[in-house]
Amino acid sequence: LYEAFRARRQRRRRRRRIQSARKGSAALEVSLDENGRIRVGSTTGGASPRDVAPDYSTRVWRSVLPAAAIPRLAEDCASAYLKVKTTTRNRGIEYETNATYWIGASRAPRTALEAVALDIFRHHSRGVRFDASSSGAEWWTQVVDEELDIPFHWDRDYELQKEEGVCLHPHVASVTYLTGLGGAPTLVLPVASPVL
């Protein structure tokens, strides 16, 4: 039953288009894949290896960062961690979030954290065609006391959700723990969040 529901849901999502029309602005039309991500690449006949979508399978790597680099990265995380109140661009809806940062695919990293984010981007985008002028990695840090936790959530574009009620997910999400102290583990489920 679950597989039949999932197949039906995937077919619906393949056809789904999100349209956002505002007075004085062009409509935004986006094609989503079966997991609520913007469709990437081509899987139609004759596609070259550079035209296929990235590998979205769940994987775990342990001890990939040099132990000597972790204290500096942890300090940088604490410096970059910032709660901010912001408003959405179009409707001015206020919400609180963590400060996020961006490193463009063709830029040179300025910090150790940008270098890690860019290394992760480059690893996962190898062999995938993309526009380097508009691609890259968004990153942020979480510095959480052992007694606290981060509530259950799906990573998504929070502004788009607030503005349009659409949950748009990243193509690739990476969670990197720098310490082994406390905190709930990252949980990966074989279920996509609701798109709308």
φ, ψ for residue 167, nearest 5 deg: -95, 105
Please state, in angstroms and as integers, the Cα–Cα distance from residue 66 to each residue in 18, 62, 108, following that order: 43, 11, 21
pLDDT band at 137 (very low <50, low <70, confident <90, very high): very high
For 52-73, what is the mean pLDDT?
Answer: 83
Phi-psi sector, 109: left (phi>0), alpha (psi -120 to 50), beta? beta
pTM over 0.85: no
Q: How far apart are CA 38 and CA 128, in angstroms?
A: 15
Amino acid identity, position 193: S
pLDDT at residue 19 in the model: 36
pLDDT at residue 29 in the model: 67
Give 86 or 182, the one with higher predicted confidence.
Answer: 86
Report pLDDT digits (tens) over 153-186.
Answer: 888 888 888 888 888 878 788 888 887 665 567 8
**Residue 46: pLDDT over 60:** no
The answer to whether the beta carbons of residues 72 and 178 sit under 8 Å apart is no
The answer to whether the beta carbons of residues 80 and 99 sit under 8 Å apart is yes
